[in-house]
């Protein structure tokens, strides 16, 4: 697997993938810092497009990523992650809404667990899922990062 680490307005990010597909985008300082495996190869070239799109996203110019993704997870997790990709830029959904969207209205807790297991943060926008009360809930990059990503999507100027 290839990987690179890049700086961003929300701290260092680790990108990893194979054959041109992004399999991981994790926060270096998140609640579960990613580990670079011994057999991984550091190389920025396979991530040129992802890095370019991340830069545009943080500048407020990109609202939807167009990248080949290869997240590893269970069929249920992948179903939740696919549904996350449908949440429009600048909008949020509750865990309950996401459960209903995938046809499992009583599975809000399971949706939350799948959301928390998302290996491709930001690109698969798990930060757009909030509690039923409208409050921010756990996030792998920390609640401050979640708050900053949502603020970025709601208006210009946060990272200027």
Say whether 4 is catalytic.
no
d(CA 21, CA 147): 28
Active-site hit among 13, 126, 130, 152:
126
49 neighbors 67 (Cβ within 8 angstroms) = yes
Dihedral (CA of 67, 80, 40, 4) sign: positive
DSSP secondary structure letter of residue 88: P
Long-range contacts at 53-58 (CB < 8 A, ≥ 24 apart): 54/6, 54/8, 54/13, 54/122, 57/122, 58/8, 58/9, 58/152, 58/159
80 neighbors 102 (Cβ within 8 angstroms) = yes
Catalytic amino acids? 126
């Amino acid at each position: 697997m290839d990987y690179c680490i890049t700086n961003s307005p929300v701290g260092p990010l680790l990108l990893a993938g194979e054959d041109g597909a992004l399999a991981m985008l994790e926060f270096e300082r998140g609640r579960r810092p990613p580990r670079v495996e011994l057999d991984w190869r550091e190389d920025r070239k396979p991530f040129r497009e992802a890095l370019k799109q991340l830069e545009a996203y943080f500048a407020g110019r990109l609202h939807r990523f167009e990248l080949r993704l290869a997240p590893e997870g269970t069929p249920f997790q992948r179903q939740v992650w696919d549904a996350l990709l449908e949440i429009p830029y600048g909008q949020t959904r509750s865990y309950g809404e996401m459960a209903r969207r995938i046809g499992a209205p009583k599975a809000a807790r399971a949706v939350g667990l799948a959301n928390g297991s998302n290996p491709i943060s930001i690109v698969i926008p798990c930060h757009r899922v909030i509690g039923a009360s409208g409050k921010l809930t756990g996030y792998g990059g920390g609640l401050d990062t979640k708050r900053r990503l949502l603020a970025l999507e709601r208006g210009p100027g946060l990272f200027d």
